[in-house]
Amino acid sequence: MPRRGKKAKTPLSEEEQMLLYQQKLLAEEEMAKKKERLLSQFLKDKLAKEEHNSALNLNKINTQWRTVLREVKTKELLKDIEILSQTFERVVDCKDNVIKSLAKDLSEAEEQYAHALRSHLHNIDQLLALQRYRLSVLEENYNMELETLTKEFETERKAIIDQHENEIHYLQDVFMAMEQNYIDAEYESKLEFQSMWDDLKNKNLEEKHFLRMQLENVVEDLWRRFQSALKNYTDATEDQKIAFEALKVKDEKSSKEIEAQMKKIQKLQDSVIVLKGKIMAHSRESDEQNQCVRDDKELVLVQLRKLKAQRTHGREIAQENLVNLTLESNATLKALRKIVSKGEKILKLAEICRKFETEEEKVLPFYSSTLTPEEQEEMEETGPEEVTEELAKVIADYRGLENFWKRYNKVKLEQLSLQHRHAQLSDINGKLREMLKQYLDGISVSDEVLSQLNPLFIVNHRSNLPQPLSTPTSQPGDKKPATTHNIIEAAHVVSHIL
């Protein structure tokens, strides 16, 4: 058997070379990062040491400087004290002179006050004598007028008493006749009222039973809504409650005033009883007026029914508005919660993205322009479109978002470039995987490889690839069939030939 020679070193493939190159790059990057870390740590330690030394030296300088400043300040304060003592003595002398002049003025003012007081008392005595004389004259006049008035009052009183007795007898007769008429009319009206009351009672009981069954469910729902509305109302009307307490105190004061007025009213009622006798005399004339009042009453009742109908309609509208308001408020609260959650998500994402920002993006977060000078010249040559007022308003509203859109567009462009790069790398990876699979299938033998088409597997000068069929007659409209090629390695052919 011939000795086998040593195996020659197999050359590395392109993929292995790429892997080795990438490993070297990673090792170099790690070494550079370690150096940067060591350098930064050394600089940090040195900076901390320098800061400590600078703080210590600064404290020493400050202590020495303070002693110098204290000495200078003491000298200045001594000079200020001497100056202030001199000024104080001068001010005290001035104040003594002022006090002496004021004492002289005070003595003169007291003499003037005593003279004025004596003249004033003399004038008051004269005025009192004059006033006493006037009072005596007025008292005499008052007594004379009082005597004349008492005489006139007695004569008028006798005439009024006689007339009053005559009118009382007349009114008693009229009262008896009217009372009889009223009794008959009251009996008839009671009979009519009783019949109408029975009919209305039966009708109302039926309607009440029907409405009670219909409104119980509605009242329950309304009670819940009213409870929530009452809570909101109590919260909103705390200030009004305080005002109500103030008005309550005011009401107590007014109630006392009302009691005083009620006493006055009682006195007036006594006078009204006297005047009722005269009113009964005019009762015949008031019948026609009563008829007019009854007609007016019917009209007022009709208007009252209309107002009640309007009130019920208004309550229904208010209830509908309250329901719509609650629904809209719930919808707005949900929308606001969604906006708040969305804003919180955006802030969280912004904090996460801030960690991945490069140094350049942290220093210059907003780029100036991505257009080249040639593209900018082309944009200027094309000319801007005519800007309308509405478009100008919209642009002015969104002008504050220019920096946001710059960053957004920058991120979007980077995302698109990364997607494009990812697609390219995935295509290259797929091609490399196919090449590696073909290579491994060609150098290995297994059931799976034998079952598939393999151009390297040849038995009796034949591969397992499908042979091309006889080409049918082609027509001008038909497409040409795809041609297949059998690939045979030259080394295999040579070994069989030789």
Above 90 in pLDDT, residue 52? no
Per-residue 3-state assignment (H helix, E strand, C coil) for 284-347? HHHHHHHHHHHHHHHHHHHHHHHHHHHHHHHHHHHHHHHHHHHHHHHHHHHHHHHHHHHHHHHH
pLDDT at 379 over 70: no
For residue 124, pLDDT over 70 is answered with: yes
State the SS3 of 147-159.
Answer: HHHHHHHHHHHHH
Element (H, E) at 199: helix 14-236
CA distances from 445 to 10, 32, 293, 453, 465 (A): 22, 46, 124, 13, 16
Q: Does residue 482 carry a pLDDT above 70?
A: no
Read off the pLDDT of residues 139-180 as tens digits, 9 standing for 90 and up: 888 888 888 888 888 888 888 888 888 888 888 888 888 888
Write down the pLDDT at residue 295.
Answer: 86
Please report the pLDDT score of residue 8 as a whole number: 47
Q: Say how far apart CA 175 and CA 224 lie, in whole Å.
A: 60
480 within 8 A of 474, measured Cβ to Cβ: yes
pLDDT of residue 311: 87
* pLDDT over threshold 60, residue 34: yes
Tokens of 479: 């497409």
- Res 23 pLDDT > 50: yes
Give me the pLDDT at residue 113, please. 86
pTM of the model: 0.26
Ranges 5-14, 312-321, 486-495: which has the least confidence: 486-495
Nearest C-alpha neighbor of 465 from the set 454, 481, 477, 476? 454
Task: Dig out the tokens for 329 from the structure.
Answer: 């408020």
pLDDT number for residue 261:
79
What's the pLDDT at 488? 47
Cα–Cα distance list, 475 to 47, 372, 395 (Å):
88, 55, 64
- Looking at per-residue confidence, does 234 or 8 come out higher? 234
Among candidates 270, 271, 278, 288, which has minimal Cα distance to 171?
278
Task: Encode pLDDT of 193-217 as tens digits.
Answer: 887 888 888 887 887 777 777 777 7
pLDDT in tens, 299-341: 888 888 888 888 888 889 888 988 888 899 889 999 999 999 9
Half-sphere exposure in the Cβ direction for 484 (13 Å, CA): 12
Higher-confidence residue of 20 and 463: namely 20
Q: Is 367 helix (H, G, I), strand (E, B) or coil?
A: coil
Q: Which of 302-311, 330-339, 367-376, 386-395 has the lowest mean pLDDT?
A: 367-376
The answer to whether the beta carbons of residues 484 and 491 sit under 8 Å apart is: no
More confident residue, 193 or 137: 137
Q: 376 vs 361, 366, 379, 442, CA distance in Å?
A: 24, 19, 5, 57
User: Looking at residue 472, what is its pLDDT?
Assistant: 43
Mean pLDDT, the chain, as a whole number?
Answer: 78
What pLDDT shows up at residue 341?
A: 92
Residue 103 pLDDT class (50, 70, 90 cuts) = confident
Instruction: Specify the pLDDT at position 337.
Output: 92
Looking at residue 340, its pLDDT comes to 92
Q: What is the pLDDT of residue 2?
A: 41
pLDDT digit string (tens) for 242-301?
Answer: 877 888 888 788 778 878 778 887 887 777 787 777 777 776 776 777 788 788 888 888
Place 54 in a pLDDT band, splitting at 50, 70 and 90. Answer: confident
